[in-house]
Structure 1
């Protein structure tokens, strides 16, 4: 089959690899759509430490079951349309036993630590499959994974009706976070230096938008979420908080990055700083939100390319020209 392969950081190609074979309790999907996110850029650049090389990336995906392994739970059959939680938790370490599988000591994820869905076919645990409602396309199904990350992030930081919330970054994750916060009753301000994205945030109901936190005239917020992973953005979000405020570090930064936050403010103003790591008991809720129309998917799905154009799709994502860039392995360039 054809697949996108990162042989080593900086070396990306599309080539032939063996077709996946389902192991026990696994199914094989024909991939319908796979989204590119910031983590894929980190994997391509060698900045995501859990990733081994070579690897077929791709962790935001949906498709059709074409083969079922032995002892598969859930009654899955060929032809079933599914969205897939990429999480691969060991189930036996301390964090897993404590209900924190996303902090698993042996953490893995389809497309991050094992071959993923920038391919014609992918093998996944049947237990990670969620039935895709008939009215949702594969492209919408591939958006469920980033929505599930945003759901977990909102749960981590918390939100109350009427709160003033700052979202830094108006990419896909920032706009998903904005929509979920607004659904909970928050008044959201969105900041992004790529001002071309701010119109979309405004259309989605942002109370205010700006190209930089410094343009907000010193406004203080009850809570802030950084969706960029950029050190200056994290620091600016922290500085924008009122006393008693909360900061969610949601964007993925390089492992070696460091931020300068005032420990006196954290102490004296009782600032809460939390992180949010991937998906945790949030995938089903995210699918329900997407299926119920609580998330505006049409506003986020801006670009779709064939599998053969995967390097181009990465460059498009890196440029910030679109929002959610997806690869459709079944599509033709003709």
Structure 2
């Protein structure tokens, strides 16, 4: 009774977060990298107690505190640090100026040696600073925002400090700032149209095994992860011997080139007799050495041992789920 109560409470917390975020059980399961029916199985009390790392993935997708999701204790909502927002500068008042009093000193444009677009200032004129952000400067005889000086005003007054960052347009008499692009155009994206053969059969054996005789059930679109992998293929899961990792009818996509290690999920082909077709097992990899191959099964929980000389191949399962035909 205690276990069922815990599961029910966990299911209620998951449903509460799904309702607040407007997500479905299937969408949240896939975003967490799980099978599309994982959260549904928790709600229906079909799944065994999820692992802590699995609950942490679910908490991240549900945007909630992992401790609250697991136990109901603590804060439900994640606390976010306050944004560091700089206050905007106070508005400044600029009195109007007579339009007739506005004029500017422009230098005669001559082609410098290194850049033909740089202006040469007249003797006595000040170098100006261009602003990255808009800036309004009021000088005697000028309209607000005019970037120049009146000849009759004498030496130019100092410019008031600006709250915005600035950079010098000139780094020397004949140097100019270089325009740096803020993005690069990547290579053209090509749509992947490769298809993979799907092997298997409708009903598996006692341990979910099935023969692979080279005939395909159908083909599916290749996932992007395997689009450039030579020899990649897919198998249809039969039975629930690996539930909840894999469900009956799921498609497992296989990378035959990747080296497997302990804890990986694999498809192993085992020869039963020299004249018979090898049987394929979708299991969790434990070890493979001269003593033989050891695989782990979930339902019923046990280890499967095969002699080394009967092992035809052990291939890595890259991902699994439903796939468009």
- The normalised TM-score by structure 1 is 0.24
- Which has a greater percent of strand? 1
Find the structure with the greater CA-based Rg: 2
Q: Which has the higher contact order (CA 8 A, sep 6+)?
A: 1
TM-score normalised by structure 2 residue count: 0.24
